[in-house]
Structure 1
């Protein structure tokens, strides 16, 4: 149903309710001829007369009476839909479907979501936790939290944070970890690696570490264990299966308790870049805008994860 049909219905119902074309024209701020033309067009489109016309009044035909009742229903649906759409644009409401890596379910999102739900009681949250690629459009995702650069240029990414990646190990696996001073010395030990990190470095099979102004490449080929889940990667490291490069916020509590220690504290790995990602639509619903603002404010705070002194046992 096009806009012209809706306009014709509004004109027709106004004529019926006001009792004349001139009264309808006055209410709708239209000329009498414009109102008459709308009725004529409706009757031509329907192929049947809707009004009995005489010099003194207008009355509905049988078809006109049926058409009027259904016009009222259609106009009510249109008005209700417009109101709901306006509410979505102006008031954050409805289900907010967010996808994030599994590791974010360990408390990293609790504070921003707690604030978001308290500030906007009409929002409900549906959180999908999974590692690996996400199809935002086909899965109906409003917003995704992703790591690293995007391969899909049709999506819009907003930078949230840069997290330090730390080389970590269980003290039981490398009791002499403090005597390791260069990345090449790690070749003798098992590395537990994230599957997607290994894929991202497939062309070079190595990762750059920086020490002051010097750099070294750490060979990923020595990895004997690969897993596609960050929480499993952390657990394998805690259990002493080897060492791993882990994002600081996700292992802060283990560093603080001494369950993990850092290796080569003088060397720096590339950062763990966190992005919020949405589909490339011109206008986002208010619920998505509020979620983006809340996540940006939270992750943009310096010190939301207190750094642990690197190399501490």
Structure 2
């Protein structure tokens, strides 16, 4: 007996209460349906249907078996679909949103290579610093930076999100470099206008890389901006001390336009650790195009030395 086929025939018959209609649905003979269900009943040792001239009626045993068999068949179908999709060529139209600065620096620059690798995918790249509702906007995927709020969305971390205290050589020559976190309170801090407060949290690093203790510094300064690139430009221009993500500041550090300050301290803008995330609506099976994009950029961002390149 083909147990899988027999259970499918039973479930169809339980819905239609007719062997002939089941045969039409499954495109097999009614006699085959009757034989499969008879074999299933013999295997289970219980009648699944009461048969009469009026048709079929589920027995108590049939009702119980139907309830559990539906769940099992659904799980098996899903397992087959997920497994077979692993061998399906990534294709389709992908709509992805990302923060403007990060998107320009670290997504758009690699997009041509992604399209070369996946010729059957087309992409809408939507650069916006607004948090777009993915489901309402028909967005397949979002790249988001920082700490993720609780939501029903699925997420995969693509990279760590580290911040660096820095200032230009000209600023340091004029105002000096802070020797300890508390010194930041007397400096011109370039603050992010959308932050919930004007505080930085600093934790000292040990020789082994672990951290312990912390210092919270309240910031002062006359300049605020709501854009990472704007704060970077202001810092390079010598307007103050900035807390910038490593993904935006490394080139300026290597070029000598900025100097890394308080290197023995790990710095963050809040208590919740951040990251670079791929976020997408919850589905039983992640589409091949979304999985391809996430795997591609996770591979790039995990390349040794990428964030200091």
Same fold (TM over 0.5): yes
- Partner of residue 136, structure 1: 134
Contact 2:102 2:247 in 1 (8 A): no
Distance 1:284 1:100 in 2: 19
1:69-108 matches, cutoff 5 A: 90-108=88-106
Alignment of 1:189-268 (within 5 A): 189-196=187-194, 198-199=195-196, 202=197, 205-212=199-206, 215-268=213-266
> Could you list the per-position Cα deviations for residues 172-193 of structure 1 after superposition, in whole angstroms to 9, with x for gaps in the alignment?
2221677531011121211112
Tell me the CA shift for residue 206 of structure 1.
4.3
Shift of the alpha carbon at 1:171? 1.5
Match in the other structure for 2:145: 147
How big is the shift at 1:92?
Answer: 1.9
Which stretch has the larger CA shift, 170-179 or 254-263?
Answer: 170-179
Q: Is contact 1:97-1:141 (8 Å) kept?
A: yes
Preserved CA contact (<8 Å) 1:96 1:123: yes
Tell me how far apart the structure 1 counterparts of residues 204 and 132 of structure 2 sit (CA, whole Å): 32
The alignment of Structure 1 onto Structure 2 pairs a total of residues equal to: 230
Gaps in structure 2 of 5+ consecutive residues: 1-22, 34-83
Q: 1:231/1:206 Cα in 2 relative to 1: closer, same or farther (>3 Å)?
A: closer
Could you list the runs of 5+ residues in structure 1 that have no partner in the other structure?
1-23, 35-85, 308-313
Aligned partner of residue 292 in structure 1, secondary structure: helix
Q: Give the corresponding residue for 2:182.
A: 184
Provide the C-alpha distance between the structure 2 equivalents of 1:207 and 1:262, rounded to a whole number of angstroms.
16
Match of 2:289, SS? helix
Deviation at 1:169, TM superposition (A): 1.0
The CA distance in 1 between the partners of 2:117 and 2:305, in whole Å, is 23
Is the Cα contact below 8 Å between 2:88 and 2:288 reproduced in 1?
yes
Partners of 2:234 and 2:177 lie apart in 1 by: 23
Change (3 A) 1:174 1:135: same
CA 1:119/1:105 → structure 2, altered by over 3 Å: closer, same or farther?
A: same
Alignment partner, residue 293 of structure 1: 295
Separation (CA, whole Å) in 2 of partners of 1:230 and 1:278: 24
Change in 2 beyond 3 A, CA 1:290/1:154 = same
**1:220 and 1:135 mapped to 2: Cα distance?**
33
Q: TM-score, normalised by structure 1?
A: 0.64
Alpha-carbon deviations, 1:226-268, whole Å to 9, x = none?
A: 3221111211212222111111221221111111111112222
Distance 1:189 1:102 in 2: 29
Provide the C-alpha distance between the structure 1 equivalents of 2:223 and 2:137, rounded to a whole number of angstroms: 31
* Alpha-carbon shift at residue 105 of structure 1 (Å): 3.2
Q: Which residues of 2 match residues 43-62 of structure 1 at below 5 A?
A: none
| Post-superposition CA distance 1:182-232 (Å, at most 9, x none) | 011121211112234x22xx4x94423324355342424424333221111
For the structure 1 residues 146 and 116, does the alpha-carbon distance in structure 2 shift closer, same or farther, using more than 3 Å as the test? same
2:222 partner SS = strand
Whole-Å Cα distance in 2 between the matches of residues 288 and 278 of structure 1?
8
Q: TM-score, normalised by structure 2?
A: 0.65
Any idea what SS the aligned residue of 1:133 has?
A: coil
CA-atom RMSD, angstroms? 3.2
Larger radius of gyration: 1
State the partner residue of 1:304. 306
**1:94 and 1:188 mapped to 2: Cα distance?**
54
